[in-house]
Amino acid sequence: MTNEELQVLVETISLQYFQRAFKHKASFNRRLRTTGGRYLLHTHNIEINKTYYDALGKDELIGIIKHELCHYHLHLLNRGYQHKDADFKNLLKMVGGPRFCSSLPMQQKKEQKKKIIIYKCLGCKQRYTRRKRMNTTKYVCGKCRGKLELEEIRSVVI
């Protein structure tokens, strides 16, 4: 689904369920992570999380749009548009919108490997662990000012 198709869908849902026109912009925003959508107070635009549409389908998308349109229309009518307001709760119930969006299916966490680099002083045998490589000709041991040597590079699974 494209942004243009989303715009048309939001306009039709607004007319069908709220009997009011949606006169602003609706678009997908892939940067949204923790929410299904958001209504922007200053611009009156609506942004929808595309991940919810991809994972849960059109029914979930319609629910998110109804929720955001409740914020939109109540705000423009100077009525209680916040989640805590009775106006918002009543309108949401009337149009059949969800109070919260469904949770996304759990994505398997990938095993993260971090590289650990260990340097050793040739004089006092002090060991230093680093995440990035360093120039051993430029740096010396902080304890005895001896020369440093690369001892080993490990990959640690976190």
Angle 81-82-84 (CA atoms, 0-180°, nearest 5)? Answer: 125
* Torsion angle (degrees, nearest 10) of CA 128, 131, 135, 141: -20
Q: At what angle do helices 58-76 and 3-13 cross, to 10 degrees?
A: 60
Q: Annotated catalytic residue: which of 47, 68, 149, 152?
A: 68
Cβ neighbours of 119 (radius 10 Å): 19
Closest C-alpha among 142, 143, 134 to residue 151? 134
68: annotated active-site residue: yes
Please list the active-site residues. 68
